[in-house]
Copies of this chain bind each other. A is one copy, B any other.
Amino acid sequence: MAGNTIGHTFRLTTFGESHGEAIGGIIDGVPSNFSLDLDAVQLELDRRRPGQSDIVTQRKESDTVRFLSGVFENKTTGAPIGFVIENENQKSKDYSHIQDVYRPSHADFTYDKKYGHRDYRGGGRSSARETACRVVAGAIAKQFLSHYGISIHAFVSQIGPIRLSGDLIKISLPEKENKVRCPDEKKAAEMITYLKEIRKAGDTIGGVVFSKITGVPVGLGAPVFDKLHADLGKAMLSINAVKGFEYGSGFSGVEMKGSEHNDVFQSNEKTVTNFSGGIQGGISNGEPIYFRVAFKPVATIMQDQTSINKHGKNVTVQGKGRHDPCVVPRAVPIVEAMAAITVFDHVLRHKTTQI
């Protein structure tokens, strides 16, 4: 009930706080007898890792995952996969100056009020560090999805005012991502320049991640509460800093008429348009699924801010440390991971629909 598990049949439970001993998780419901490439999991983690380029945080964390169970002779055993990522770099610093401070738009205040006790050395359970565990589970889900011919790809479609235009689902992705993870090289260069300015100003900025899922068979999802897009939406909204989710026509569908928006069938059971975003009535229809995820600007800025401490006194929060000017480049593998976990969960759930 404390909300540290996601998924029904394929499920991930995570633990770990930013400044504790380690983070990790248990992946349950893993089908047995499947060849799993554990090295590929580390590669996904490396996409999320701090310090990978000059436009992300320069924090040093190797984020090396150690698998403890569930795989024998490179094949899954059907037992849960337990894994741990050690927290390095836990210096015994003096935290007394920030111990009582509530940083603006962080979870310090809400966490303190809810739990009455917290690890004031960092974001604790609210730290985005927890998402590393999601990437581990997502990387495993991706390998299973690949067996079913399902692929998931995400990229950055907007940073601040710089955005990709046109039909994003048609953009072909390069073999190798650039450091801002935007497939339009010209826009990517603009974004990088913009991010450097933002960082220089000690500020941060929001962005959008676009994701598409291809090769999805007809029939994944459920018609009522567990609509495929509702589960995808929850998965995305559970990522730190996310403020919005839309799929298919999304918010722009609001101004469309039914006669424009309806996806007319062709004789091959494909549709002429795809405003539905690959999901009708909560169930995949075989067309590509696509959605957009909005991220707010990172709350930690390198500027002085006024705030209060736990005694209600006014304090000044000083900006220091090593943080991302914008979260979306590193959020791309997290979005993919959460999509993979959600879709694979529904692949397994679908197996019990008919006898």
Contacts and interface: CB of A to CB of B under 8 A. Distances in A.
B348 A80 contact: no
Contact of A77 (B26, B119, B243): B119
A262 B108 CA distance: 13
A29 to B, nearest CB: 5
Interface in A245-280: 245-251, 253-269, 271, 275-277, 279-280
B251 A218 contact: no
Contact of A254 (B148, B160, B247, B262): B160
A119 B72 contact: yes
Interface string A43-54: 000000000000
Given A26-B26, A125-B79, A70 B110 contact: no
Contacts of A118: 72, 77
B20 A69 contact: yes
11 contacts: A1-B28, A2-B222, A3-B223, A3-B226, A4-B222, A13-B26, A14-B26, A16-B82, A114-B353, A206-B256, A258-B298
Given A110-B279, A206-B261, A265-B308, 11 more contacts: A2-B29, A2-B30, A84-B84, A109-B280, A205-B255, A229-B237, A230-B235, A233-B245, A254-B294, A265-B307, A349-B352
